[in-house]
Amino acid sequence: MDSLSYAEKESIESACSVQKTLYGPAEYNKCVSGKLSALKAGPRNIDLSGLSYAEKEFGRTRERSAQIAKDL
């Protein structure tokens, strides 16, 4: 997961948190593996030029908030 952005890592962690908590490391690793496969299969550099300023700012704010929460 070293090549992923902070947002991508956080998204995968969030998506697989139930498996980690309830079902243990083996299920968590399966979940992460599945999410990484899906990410590899999808587009990586999405064109954001069609988004409004407010939409772009919303995404930036969410990333900053997630980083601050992680640092706490």
Distances (CA, A) of 14 to 9, 17, 49: 9, 5, 27
Q: Residue 36 has what pLDDT?
A: 92
Contact 7/66 with Cβ under 8 angstroms? yes
Tell me the pLDDT tens digit for each residue of 49-71.
Answer: 888 888 888 877 877 777 676 66
pTM comes to: 0.59
